[in-house]
Amino acid sequence: MLTNILKIIAALSVLIVSSCAEKNPVEADRLFFNGVIYTADNQQSVASALVIKDDILLYVGDTVVAEQYIGAQTKVVDLKGKMIIPGLHDAHIHLPGIVETDNCDLASEPFSLASIVPRIQQCIVRLNLPEGEWLTVEQWAFSSGNEPSEIFPTMRSALDAASLRHPIVLLGDDGHHGAANSFAMSLATDKDGLNVGLTKMTLNNEFANLRTLIGVDQTGRPNGIINEDARKIVNLPNLWGYPEVDLSVYTKIAERLAAAGITSTMDAAMRIEEIDNFAKWAKQSPLTYRLTAAFYPEFEDYRPAIGKPIDIKALMDDLKSTQLRHQDIVNLKIDTAKIFVDGVIEGDPYASPPMLPNAAVLNNYLQPIFTVGANGEALRVIDYVDTNSALCAEVREKGSQSTPGSFDQTFLAEHGFLSSQCFESKGILEKEYDFIYDYTLALYDAGINVHSHAIGDRAVRVALDTFAAAREANPESDAKFSIAHAQIIHPNDIPRIANLGVYMAFTYSWIEPATEYQMRVSPFIDFIFSDSDLFDPSGYVYQNSYPTGSVLKAGGVLVAGSDAPVEARDPRPMLNIEKAVTRKNEITGRVYNKSEALSVRDILDAYTINSAEMLGQKNLTGSLEIGKKADFVVLSQDLLKLEREGESDRISDTQILSTWFDGQQIYSASDANKNAAY
C-alpha cells in the first residue's frame, strides 16, 4: 500500500513541493522507504524511511513524515523490505594486507608438509625466481594443516625439499608466525650484524634470548619455525608481506572496504613512512572512508644502543611531528598509538618437543605429550609432563645449559619426554614491562589514544594495569583506551574493563570452535585427552575465551575489528557478525560457550556507534540520526528477522548491495546496478 502511495507522490512531486513549501523548504536528494533501517541510536531503534540531502541525514523515521521532503529532484527508492544499517567501522584492520598481490600466496588454505612442497615449487617457477633470491610466501595457514609425514618430519625438511637454491620464508596469516628453510636460516646474523647462521649451537648462544620463539626437533636442531621477532634475524625482505601502497593498491583498498560496507577504519599498526604514503595518495585521490592511523614505528630504531631502553621522548616527538605534517588531510586522523603487549596463544604440537605458545598467561603453560598418527589420524594428547616431579626439579636445578643432553634421546627413551619439557613458561611480553608501562603513560598524558594488542589473560591484565596507572597519573586526559583481540580474559578483570572504559576490539570470526585449531591452544592450558575435553564447559579456555557477553553485561563497550588480512584478506563483516551471534561451527554444529553470545543489535552497535565513539567520531557518524553524515549500507537480508526466526547462521550469506559515504554511492553489488539507487 505504501509503495503505491509513494509512487503517486513521486509522480506529483512538483505539486507536493509547492503546497508544502512554507512548511518545509528543504528538498531531499534521496528518500529510502519501505525498509528495515537499524539506526544504532541509544534505543537501538528501527525506522522505515531515511532521507538525505547532500552528505547529511535530513530525516530518519517513519514514511509519513518522510514524505514532506520529496521534491521535484528527489529520487525515491523502495527498499522492498531490505535492510539499511549505518556504515560499518572496522576498528582493527591492516589495510595494505587486504589487497592480493602477484607474490606466492597460500590464501590461508591448509597444506600438509607433503603438499606444501609442490605448491611452493610452482611459485618459484611461476615467478621465474633467480637462484639466491628470496621467496616470500604469504598467507601461510600456520594453525591448520602442516601435518608432518615420514618423508617430511619438520617444516624445515619440507621447505628444503621445495628449494635449497633460494632462501624461503613463510609468513603466517596472523602476522606472528613464520617458517624458513636452511638457506634462509644460514643468513641469520647476530646483534652485531655478523653472519653466524641459525643452528643448534647459535640457538643456545647468540640467539638464546629467542629460544622460546624458535622451533626445534628432538635433537635440538632448529626445525624451521621462527616466530615473532625471531623472524628478523634471518634478514627476510618483508616481515609483513604487505605490498607497497602505490596508487593502484591505494585504490584497491578503498574498493575492498566499500564492497564490505566499511566506511570507517583504524589501521592498527602504521609506520611513519606508511602514514606519509597514505597521506600523499589522499591528496591526489581523496579517501572514501574515514581512516584513523595507529602510530606503530620500528621500536628497535629508538634504542640508543643494544640493551638500552627505548627512547620514549624520541617516539613521542616523531608521533607529534607526523600528526602536524598531515593535520589537513581530509578523513585522516593520527590520534592513536599501538602497543603489542604479547604475542599469540597457539602452540605447535607438531614440533618435538611441542612448541609452547608465547602469549602472556597468568599460569604456567602445561607440557602436553602429543602423538601424531599415521594415515591422517587426528592429533591426540597421550600424556602430560609432571613439571612438579622430583625429576623435573632436578633438571631445572641443573639448568638448560648444563643438563647433559637437553635433547638426549636416552632421556626420551627412559622417561617418554625430553628434559627440555621440564622447563616452565608463562609466555612473554612483546617488550619490556617498563617500556609498556612508561609508553602507555606518556601517550595518555599527551592525549593520544592507546590501542593495546593483548591475547593472553596476563597480557590483558598488564594492559589494564597500565591503563589504570595512566588514568591515575593524569585524570584530566581525554584519551581513550582500547584492547585488541583479548582471546582469554580472567573473570576478575572483566569489571575492570568496564570501570576503565576500555573499548574491546574482539575479532568475532575467531570464536568459531574448530577441533584442529583448539588442539593448538587448549592442551597447553587445560588437561585435554579427547575432543569432548576440548569443549568441556568447565574448562578454563572454554569459559574465558572471547567472553563478549560477560564484558557487555558488566558495562564494557564492544567494538569490532576484523584484523584482516589475518585468516582472510576480506574483512568479512557479515561473518564476524554471525559468529558473534551464534558462536557456532557450521560443519560440526558445535557452539562455543553460548552464554557469551551477542544479539544482532549489540554486534551491530559494536560495528557502528561503539566503534565510532572509540574513533572519536560519534557526533559525525556511527548511527543513522538527523544531522549526521550519510554513511550507510544496504543489505540483501534483514538481520533482525533472521535472528527472530532462528536463522542467524544465515547472516554470513548477506550481500552488501550498496555502500554510501558522505551521501554518495561508492559501491554497488553489480555493474548492471551501478547507477541504481541501491
Nearest to 640 by CA among 6, 44, 123, 107: 44
d(CA 53, CA 491): 47
Compute the CA torsion angle 358, 359, 361, 367 (nearest 10 deg): -30
Look at the block and give the residue holding cell 632448529.
222
Compute the CA torsion angle 436, 468, 551, 511 (nearest 10 deg): 0
d(CA 272, CA 284): 19
Quick one: pLDDT at residue 15?
36
Quick one: pLDDT at residue 204?
86
- Start-to-end CA span in the chain (Å): 21
DSSP for 195-216, please give it. B--S-HHHHTTTTGGGGGGEEE
What are the domain boundaries of the chain?
A: 2-86+624-673, 100-234, 247-342+429-614, 374-422
d(CA 241, CA 248): 17
CA distances from 511 to 110, 207, 480, 581, 590 (A): 19, 35, 26, 10, 11
Quick one: pLDDT at residue 403?
47
Nearest to 385 by CA among 345, 357, 418, 339: 418
The reply to whether domains 100-234 and 247-342+429-614 share a CATH topology is no
d(CA 495, CA 547): 12
Quick one: pLDDT at residue 379?
85
Which CATH code is given to the segment(s) 100-234?
3.10.310.70
Backbone torsion region of residue 228, taken as left when φ is above 0, otherwise alpha when ψ lies between -120 and 50, otherwise beta: left
262 forms beta bridges with 88
DSSP for 232-298, please give it. GGGT-S-SS-PPP--HHHHHHHHHHHHHTTEEEEEEEEE-HHHHHHHHHHHHHS--SSEEEEEE---
Which CATH code is given to the segment(s) 2-86+624-673?
2.30.40.10
Compute the CA torsion angle 9, 11, 14, 18 (nearest 10 deg): -30
Nearest to 635 by CA among 645, 620, 622, 650: 650
The correct answer on CATH 3.40.50.2300 for the domain covering 247-342+429-614 is no
| Residue 436 Cα to chain centre, angstroms | 21
Amino acid at 71: G
Instruction: Work out whether strand 290-295 and strand 222-226 pair parallel, antiparallel, or are unpaired.
Output: unpaired
C-alpha cell at 572: 568479512
Quick one: pLDDT at residue 145?
85
Nearest to 610 by CA among 83, 259, 91: 91
Quick one: pLDDT at residue 677?
52
Nearest to 117 by CA among 183, 173, 164: 164
Q: How many CB atoms lie within 10 A of CB 97?
A: 23
Question: What predicted TM-score, i.e. pTM, was given to this entire model?
Answer: 0.91
**C-beta of residue 174 within 8 angstroms of C-beta of residue 227:** no
Q: Which helix (H) or strand (E) holds 436?
A: helix 433-445
274 forms beta bridges with none
| Residue 577 Cα to chain centre, angstroms | 14
C-alpha cell at 93: 584492520
C-alpha cell at 374: 599415521
Backbone torsion region of residue 427, taken as left when φ is above 0, otherwise alpha when ψ lies between -120 and 50, otherwise beta: left
632 forms beta bridges with 86, 660
**C-beta of residue 655 within 8 angstroms of C-beta of residue 575:** no
Nearest to 6 by CA among 80, 61, 60: 80
Look at the block and give the residue holding cell 507522490.
9
Q: Which helix (H) or strand (E) holds 471?
A: helix 457-473
Amino acid at 233: I
**C-beta of residue 25 within 8 angstroms of C-beta of residue 71:** no
Give the chain's residues under pLDDT 70: 1-25, 373-377, 400-407, 671-678
Nearest to 511 by CA among 443, 413, 583: 583
Q: How many CB atoms lie within 10 A of CB 360?
A: 26
CA distances from 627 to 36, 44, 56, 533, 662 (A): 20, 18, 6, 53, 12
Quick one: pLDDT at residue 23?
52
DSSP state of 628: S
d(CA 546, CA 583): 10
